[in-house]
Chains A and B, each alone.
Chain A
Amino acid sequence: MSWRKALIPLASVPLILLLAYGFRTDPKAIPSPLIRKAAPSFRMAVFDGGELSLEALRGKPVVLNFWASWCYPACYEEAPLLESTWRKYKGQGLMVVGVDIQDKEANAREFMRRFNFTFPNGPDPGSKISIDYGVYGVPETFFIDREGRITYKHVGAVTPALMDEQVQALLKGS
């Protein structure tokens, strides 16, 4: 019977589709359930003194970057972009905030000196902010709109094109 002969190849179709789906996805990527949700609030001590809270930034678009001085080369690649984005868009109300995770303070300060960071950065003792944002590596960058919602998350070094696209979207309020 012809349908019986066709049964074996037909039965393998779901398996092939499953494999195709599996091979196309990155097993190490963890999709964030926080996208389009309110960014978890936090308060952190800033390296340059004082405190910074996300609540205080409400009404401003925020680029929240998690980094570490031991994160080489990705954090070193994107560090100049973070600083240049801050300098380029701070006049339009954009905030760039850095959270340094699982790091030594001296190394973190050296990293900030090396890249002339002028935007606020602070340590994350106990990785509480990182866990609250579902961070599982560095660098990770969250784009937060004026209403405090996370619009996008990027894992790995942000490229200039992606940074520009996301920042423009935040500034337009879209």
Chain B
Amino acid sequence: MRMHGVGARRGAWTRCCAVGLLGVVLVISWIVWAARDAAGATASPDLEDKVREIASGLRCVVCQNLSVADSPSELAREMRNLVRELVQQGKSREEIQAYFVSRYGEFVLLSPTKRGFNLLVWVLPFLAVVVGACGVYLLARRWTERREVGAPAVDPAYAERVRRDLQEREGPAGS
């Protein structure tokens, strides 16, 4: 009996430990699941990638040449949050850019749009390279032509003197 009694107490203790352990495992699993779910809800990788992509094209208006994605400033953080909110509302990259342009002007775009007067910014560097290359080519051609064709004109008096000297030299041999 006593033995039995001790065995029963041990059995109850074991059951208690097992139930407790199961409870702890369940609680930990639930915490892990809830944490993962919360993280997924706040920062899905796809959403964050899209936010970063859009924010990378927007200029931080209180910084020097930093994008909204890269700036640590509070306004840039708020702008990133707004971009995230607009993406979650289903707005496209173009619509979000258009919203910021309507508030801050084209200044807010890190790359100017390729239309109108802005085209000059895109075309001029290439045009300058072409014009420069043409200039270098023409200059090089002129220099080489000068060397080939432009033999120095001989002074007639000097030429006459050379001719006479030659005649004098050849005179005795020819006579």
**Which A residues lie at the B interface, using CB under 8 A?**
30-34, 40, 102, 126-128, 130-134, 136-137
Contact = CB atoms under 8 A, between A and B. Distances in A.
B95 interface: no
A100 to B, nearest CB: 14
Nearest to A126: B78
Contact of A136 (B81, B101, B102, B104): B104
Interface of B: 61-62, 74-75, 78-79, 81-82, 101-105, 107
B49 to A, nearest CB: 22
Contact of A126 (B81, B101, B104, B107): B81
Contacts of B105: 30-33, 134
Contacts of B62: 136-137
Given A34-B103, A134-B104, A137-B62, 8 more contacts: A30-B61, A30-B105, A33-B101, A40-B103, A126-B81, A127-B79, A131-B82, A134-B103
Contacts of B78: 102, 126-128, 130-131
Is chain A's binding surface mostly helix, strand, loop or mixed?
loop
Given A136-B62, A136-B75, A33 B82 contact: no
B61 A126 contact: no
28 contacts: A30-B61, A30-B104, A31-B105, A31-B107, A32-B105, A33-B105, A34-B102, A102-B74, A102-B75, A102-B78, A126-B78, A126-B81, A127-B75, A127-B78, A127-B79, A128-B82, A130-B75, A131-B75, A131-B78, A131-B82, A131-B103, A134-B104, A134-B105, A136-B61, A136-B62, A136-B75, A136-B104, A137-B62
